[in-house]
Amino acid sequence: MRAKKICFIFLLSLFLFSTISALKGPTYAIINCRIVSPPLPVIEKGVIIIRDGLIQEVGVQGKVNIPEDAEIIEAEGMIAYPGLINAHTNLFLEPIQEQAQQPGAPPRAQTPAERRPPEPDLLVLKQIKPKKTDLDNFHKIGVTTVLIAPQRGIFAGQSVLINLNGEKIEEMVVKNPVALHVQLVTERGGYPNSLMGTMAYLRQSFLDASHYAEHLSTWSKSPRFLMRPLYNAFLEALIPYVVEKKPIIFTCNNQEDIKRVIRLSQEFKLRTIISGANEAWRVADDLKEAKLPLLITLNFRPPTTSIYATRGEALRRQAEQEIYPRNAAELQKLGLTFALTSFGLSDASAFQKNIQQAIKAGLTAEAALKALTIVPAQILGVDSFMGTIEVGKIANIVLCKGEIFDPKGQVEKVWVDGRLFKIEKAPEAKAPAAFSVAGSWRVTIASPMGEMEMTMELEQEGSSVQGQLISNYGRWEIRDGHLSGQELNFSVSIEIMGQTIEAAFHGRVEKDLIEGTVQIPGGSADFRAIRIPRSL
């Protein structure tokens, strides 16, 4: 009888154990490492014990018992950081696909039929398709956690916070939903189709949500003598954010838009988080007074409506290279707290490059680290179990040779939910010498409206690629150029007939041939570039 009981308890505990710790992995002991996790004091020679996805113990070498079953990670001379949190991305989402359009043609009017309805009820979680390469690329720069935000429309939907611990969505989700995402964008075809209309529409929607909630609660208290409210999915989705004051992440960059959001959130007493805000330094006083949490993007491109973008290409380029990278440093100087994100950047390596550039522009490395660990954890409401290396928190840890934001620093190992990912040494270090795209190329873009010919002049420095695209319509600077192995990526802002079209080129290089696709808003096209032999 007793044996039976014990057996039962044993089985039960086995069962419970296996369901609770679905993320159970090996136990690790990282020893002899320097532990840097602001605002906690630095531990010079420390030990971190990781068990069942959590940090079991942290402390000074010698004062921490190392479990017998632990796999020892000798980390002499290395630094352990909390896993970085990138608090606004569109990772693992399909890029917005719209009907193809002739490159360079003015945007075609959108008809009401093509306009998507607002989707505050959209859970972006349902659209995620994890990709291993993106996962690896973020691990390489030490990012273990990302917020994935919906991308389209004014009421875009609700975001999810995930740990980059593999490819099974159920295991990755940390918090869902995190926030409602509202974007100050101008849509076409139908109402509203202007910024002024968007502002009025937001106000009316917030009022309607409050009224719907009031109607629901009045009716639920006394359903007799009152008609029930007509079911409305749109308003139902807004109630938790507008009435119950869960966080709303407003996306905007332009300084005036930031002020518009501040006013709106004061008017409706919303729990607002501002994301983007690469012009935040221009309205720092207003932000300081408003005390709204900030998710500052490291996308340094001036918003298209900013004076830095509308008064000539020279100013725009200077702004992108010199002025906008100073945003975070200026905010730090003025005593504002903020998280840093990669929102609007093409990939992880661009993010890393821009973190380094922000530091070069005056942001302290410590502030950058906080802005990617504890601060986003606080803003997203997960700091009780993430964001620092502390006992009981999730074991998201980055082990680095050298300092993490130092261009010479190298992420060696990453633990996400206690799972170890070893970072393969980037072949880039040797690759560039073997491969060069420098030179002149004849580019043919097979657009739906026929072939377009242009010339491309490229220069290469290590893995970074610069240059120009030259066509009958003008010369355009190549941005974010990057050669990784045979993969060439770069962006170009094509300015044509007063319009600016963002084009992202992805190609594969074979000695004298590049083939790939070019993404533009509203579609994509194939391109092909052939090296023009250097005439002597």
Partner 1 sequence: MRRIFVFITLIIISTASLMAGGSLLLKNGTILTVTRGVIPKGDILIIDGLIKQIGENIAPPPGVKVIDLNGKYVIPGIIDSHTHIALAGTNETGDTITAEVNMRDVIDAEDISIFTALSGGVTTIHTLHGSANPIGGQNITLKLKWGKKAEEMIFSQAWPTLKFALGENVTQANRQVSPGEERRYPASRMGVMAIIRRELEKAKNYMAEWDRYQELKKMKILNRPLLPPRRDLRLEALADLLRGKLVARCHSYRADETIEFIKLSHEFGFRIACFEHIPEAYKIAKELAAEKIGISVFMDNWAYKVEAAQGIATMPAFCTQQGVLVSLNSDSNERIRRLFNDAAKAIKYGGLSEDEALKLITLNPAIQLGVDKWVGSIEVGKHGDLAVFNEHPLSSYTRCEMTIIEGEVYFDREAYLREREEAQKAEPKTKAQGGVQ
Chain residues in the site for partner 1 (CB under 8 A): 108-113, 186, 189-197, 199-200, 203-204, 207-208, 211, 214-215, 218-219, 221-222, 225-226, 256, 259-260, 305, 307, 311-312, 314-315
Nearest to partner 1 of 8, 191 (CB atom)? 191
Strand-pair partners of 439: 458
Nearest to partner 1 of 205, 332 (CB atom)? 205
Least gap, CB of 304 to partner 1 (angstroms): 11
Half-sphere exposure (CA, 13 Å, Cβ side) for 109? 5
CA distances for 495 relative to 104, 157, 304, 444, 445, angstroms: 8, 31, 12, 18, 16
Listed residue (522, 497, 493, 496) closest to 505, CA to CA = 493
272 vs 241: CA distance, rounded Å = 10
Nearest to partner 1 of 269, 425 (CB atom)? 269
Least gap, CB of 117 to partner 1 (angstroms): 14
Least gap, CB of 190 to partner 1 (angstroms): 5
Nearest to partner 1 of 52, 256 (CB atom)? 256
- Pairing state between β 28-35 and 78-82: parallel
Tokens of 260: 């518009």
Provide the 10 A C-beta neighbour count for residue 132.
Answer: 9
Nearest to partner 1 of 95, 312 (CB atom)? 312
Full 3-state SS string of 58-101: EEECCCCCCCCCCEEEECCCEEEEECEEEEEECCCCCCCCCCCC
Nearest to partner 1 of 11, 207 (CB atom)? 207
Least gap, CB of 231 to partner 1 (angstroms): 16
Strands (E), 322-462: 339-341, 397-401, 410-416, 419-422, 439-447, 450-461
392 vs 357: CA distance, rounded Å = 34
354 vs 299: CA distance, rounded Å = 8
